[in-house]
Structure 1
Amino acid sequence: MELSLSRVHFPVTTLGPGRRLGIWFQGCSIRCPGCISADTWGPGQRRLEVDQLLAQLAPWLQEADGITLSGGEPFDQFEALLLLLKGLRRLSCVDILVYSGYPLEHLQPRLHQAAGLIDGLISDPYEEHLDQSLALRGSDNQRLTLLTALGRSHLAPYERALEPADKALDLMFDDNGSVWMAGIPRRDDLLRLRDLLQEQGHQIQTSAHRH
């Protein structure tokens, strides 16, 4: 089975505890206004077999303290997501955190199908007009649901308000020179980064409208 993939990065240190393997799905039907990952909305061009992806991830899984899946919208590719989760669980015993823009209630049937495969879920759409005061969340309506004993052990400490150490971003550089960010930026972080880079003479482009 094929999966539409945006990107993979290791290590990610801003989307859960430890040095994590980050996997971003490509394609999102929700498209929340103000989304930091608008470049992942469209269908994309990079499709690969789940088994092929798992083989590529295997070396990183030897070192990862956890795995975070985001997007895009992972549950828009549910059959591929389920196959990937089963493979990750087979290859590693670390916690798996999944981000989704769907309300928790909408996801319940699929969470039942994925029982034991997802340790923690952050659900609900991003609402740019709401406060941003909770760890790992872009807006305070989003919920952290702990689904396994491993999730409760590793991820329960994130059921709290933002702390200074949370206000960090990982920067990732692709071979083609593209720069990506991982983490939960504050509302003005991107503006400050844009101004800083422009002051240094860099040309700034965004992918927010590339669908």
Structure 2
Amino acid sequence: MIAIDNVLLSDDVISAQFVCDLEKCKGGCCVDGDCGAPITEAEAQKITEIFPVVKKYLPEAYVLEVERQGFYVTDDEHGMVTPTVNGGICVYGFTDELGVVKCGIEQAYRNGEVDFKKPISCHLFPLRIDEAAGYEMVNYEPRKSLCRPACKLGKKLQVPVYQFLKEPIVRKYGPEFYEALDALARHKAEE
């Protein structure tokens, strides 16, 4: 375990290697799972605010699901999560012309229409955060078969998980946190 402030990270965050391979997984992380993506209250509010802009990127059936279920639903294990369509794809997802599932929220962000990229749990995947006793526990949890191509590509390119996820780690914890994590990883690599 690695401890930085009140965050405990599994050693895999620095030792495992990972680079998303969208050509192979087709954005399956937006489809596969027990429920939608965990979101915070602030993220739920933000999604509610920006949905009028985001909905133009979504299939009509998904917009209808948002209208039916709401901007978020509550899961017994994960709390507030994004709704899904029939227990599958996230309602904020869409499939592009190459068959890759992408995020409508992120598309609106990339087009400069909103100032919110996507829920942090999505941005950090395959890292998962759990809270206990005043600590955040960050674990590396790739999907066994779905993420196999990403694990393989990460090994080929020799990119540790934390380096691949630099942007969302900085977004969640700040640049000083990332610098401390990077220094610890480099120190362990020299041992």
Tell me the TM-score normalised to structure 2 length. 0.31
Structure with the bigger RCO (C-alpha within 8 Å, sep 6+) is 2
Structure with greater proportional strand content? 1
The TM-score, its normalising length taken from structure 1, stands at 0.29
Q: Which has the higher helix share?
A: 2
